[in-house]
Homo-oligomer: A and B are copies of this chain.
Amino acid sequence: MIAIGIDIGGMSIKGAAVDSNGRVYETFSMPCEKGEPGEITIRKLAEIVKDYISTFGLEDKIVGIGIGCPGTLDVKNGVVEYSNNLGWNNLPIAALMNEVLSYPIRLTNDANAAALGEAKYGAGEEYNNIIMLTLGTGVGGGIIIDGKLYEGNLGKGGELGHTVVQVDGEQCTCGRKGCLEAYASATALIRETKKAMFNNEQSLMWNICPDIDMVGGKVSFEAAKQGDEAAIEVLNNYIKYLGEGILNYCNIFRPEAIVLSGGVANAGDYLFSRLNQYVRDRNYGYKMTPEVKILPAELGYDSGKIGAAALFFK
């Protein structure tokens, strides 16, 4: 069984044919030009997909086209209601695609698509119930229950970054204060790294990144591995908030695993060993409650495409 999986991002749209073993065929890609009306972008996409399908002679093999897209979606009707990053408003993606392509179209949130991909073919492959958290500009999430994506009423659930862990805390982009996103995103880590650098002129972090405007999510990790105290403090605090958020999801879902993706999740053992320890030490209900494994994602940038296609696989 083969489906087309498409991952819409702020800079580009990427897609590929994906089979039900999670194998990704040749990838196509087009820029997502800021300012271009969404109708035009999607009509271009539809033509590219049509050409792709005919080039590879897949006309009779494709069971559908799955699309992962950021923003507020009407998944039932295949409409992007609002996407700040893309500048799209009430864009009927499914209808526009169907002007050119007669396959069924399924739309889901980009974080949901990535979670489904990781759950079925990546880090969560062995498990039926996983939670994925994407630690990037924001904190996205996906809920997989019994191997299937849980999206909530009208597809509006799974906003796992927008759960308050600190009432009256840091301002979040969603309007509330103290969301997990405001503490566990790469953006939050960079904010705290910069603060620590300003307060510690002798920190190794200045050697690693002399230009404060260029500070990224890796600076604190690199300095901490070399024993820099300011960096260690930044990361201890980051791990504490992320750990508390993860513990919350453990107690709510008691999944078999929690998969972390996004830039920060590439930090490797420094992050995962401490995070696993933090969560293990605070596991609810003594030793009788099963541990939840915290794992890095495995599929990288393919997860969105694979998961979008997997909307058509059992």
Binding site for B on A (CB under 8 A): 72, 74, 81-82, 129, 143, 145, 150-160, 162-167, 169, 174-176, 240-241, 244, 247-248, 251-256, 282, 284-286, 288-290, 292
A81-B288, A153-B292, A165-B166 known; 6 new pairs, CB 8 Å cut-off, are A72-B286, A151-B254, A153-B255, A153-B256, A159-B254, A165-B165
Nearest CB of chain B from residue A215's CB, rounded to whole Å: 24
Tell whether, in the assembled complex, residue A282 and residue B175 are in contact, meaning their CB atoms are under 8 Å apart: yes
For the complex of A and B, 6 pairs with smallest distance between CB atoms? A152-B254, A157-B254, A163-B248, A159-B251, A156-B254, A153-B254
Nearest CB of chain B from residue A233's CB, rounded to whole Å: 15
Tell whether, in the assembled complex, residue A255 and residue B152 are in contact, meaning their CB atoms are under 8 Å apart: yes
How many copies of this protein are present in the complex?
2
Closest Cβ neighbor of A282 among chain B residues: B176
> A117 vs B8: C-alpha distance in the bound complex, in angstroms?
42
List 24 A-B residue pairs with CB atoms under 8 Å apart, sorted by A's residue number: A72-B285, A81-B288, A82-B285, A129-B153, A143-B252, A145-B145, A151-B254, A152-B255, A153-B255, A153-B292, A154-B289, A155-B254, A156-B284, A156-B288, A157-B254, A157-B255, A160-B251, A160-B252, A162-B251, A164-B165, A164-B247, A167-B244, A175-B284, A176-B244
Q: Which of A145, A282, A289 has the largest count of B CB atoms less than 10 A from its CB?
A: A289
> A288 vs B73: C-alpha distance in the bound complex, in angstroms?
9
Q: Which B residues lie within 8 Å of A145 (CB)?
A: 145, 150
Nearest CB of chain B from residue A171's CB, rounded to whole Å: 13
Given contacts A165-B167, A247-B164, contact A157 B253 (CB under 8 A): yes
> A235 vs B288: C-alpha distance in the bound complex, in angstroms?
36
Q: Which of A82, A155, A176, A285 has the largest count of B CB atoms less than 10 A from its CB?
A: A285
Tell whether, in the assembled complex, residue B286 and residue A82 are in contact, meaning their CB atoms are under 8 Å apart: yes
Q: Which B residues lie within 8 Å of A150 (CB)?
A: 145, 253
Tell whether, in the assembled complex, residue B285 and residue A156 are in contact, meaning their CB atoms are under 8 Å apart: yes
Tell whether, in the assembled complex, residue A158 and residue B252 are in contact, meaning their CB atoms are under 8 Å apart: yes
Nearest CB of chain B from residue A161's CB, rounded to whole Å: 9
> A169 vs B169: C-alpha distance in the bound complex, in angstroms?
12
> A157 vs B252: C-alpha distance in the bound complex, in angstroms?
5
